[in-house]
Amino acid sequence: MSIIFSDSLVASVSDPEIDLNAPIFGYQSFVTAAGVASSNAATGYPITNVANISTASFWRASATTLQYITVTINPAQTVDYVGVARHNFATAGVAVSVETQAGLGGAWVQVIAPSIPANNNALIFQFTSQSAFGVRLKLAASTSAPEIAVIFVGKLLISTQRIYVGHSPITLNRRVEVVTGMSESGNYLGRIITGSSLTTAVSLTNLKPDWYRANFDPFVVAAQDSPFFFGWRPYSYPNEVGFAWLTNDPSPSNMMSNGMMQVSLELNGVSS
């Protein structure tokens, strides 16, 4: 699972180790079934599938030629990321780029240069915050038809505090369900994995009380029934990102007399 930064975003930050290593949460999305379109779609795999949060249903192209997936946002909204879950870009050899459109009928401007992801894990494309009427993925010609289950387009929630010691990155914290075969005589016959997921816990401290109430609490409310993209230290570890959901009920508390707050999240995520 990885984050792909735009060159302009990285270049605009004088010390990216500070600004781009704050935890990010991609929960906001302006993608709707009525507002998303694709160049084509295979029978039974419509583009509207990417507008829901299920990773079990997906869009599949009907060809391996150049494809566009276009998200229309009307009225225009401020956006700075595209999240993609359950795709096959790596195995299909799909070079992906991101373009934005400032107004209806306006020019499309590239904000993320083309690249082929290293694997098929979830992706966050992060670019400079801007008002956009449209956002589109450009999928170059590939060796097999591209697929995508979920697309988010919106504005990231960026924590005011980093995560430090004690954190277990979600991509390294795997959980598997297995059936182990044993013979009557006690010999080992093999194992079958019947399910897998990723998990982690997130502890945030020293959060300003006004910031928590205005920015983080709306995320907690939204995450009660919806998944989100999460990166714990994006710039240093861009490959350690999850498409995850809450498994606890976060209970923020005051940790200092000045009102600074702390909160802990427990997450499960989609395994590749």
Report pLDDT digits (tens) over 91-121: 999 999 999 999 888 999 999 999 999 888 8
For residue range 66-91, list pLDDT tens digits in order. 999 999 999 999 999 999 999 999 99
Taking a C-beta distance cutoff of 8 angstroms, is the pair 21, 121 a contact?
Answer: no
* Cα 209 to Cα 5, 24, 89, 251, distances in angstroms: 30, 18, 41, 14
pLDDT for the residue 18:
60
pLDDT for the residue 239:
87
- The SS3 assignment for 266 reads strand
Residue 1 has pLDDT above 60, yes or no: no
Residue 134 has pLDDT above 80, yes or no: yes
Q: Which of 80, 1, 67, 5 is nearest to 36 (CA)?
A: 67
Residue 228 has pLDDT above 90, yes or no: yes
Entry pTM:
0.90
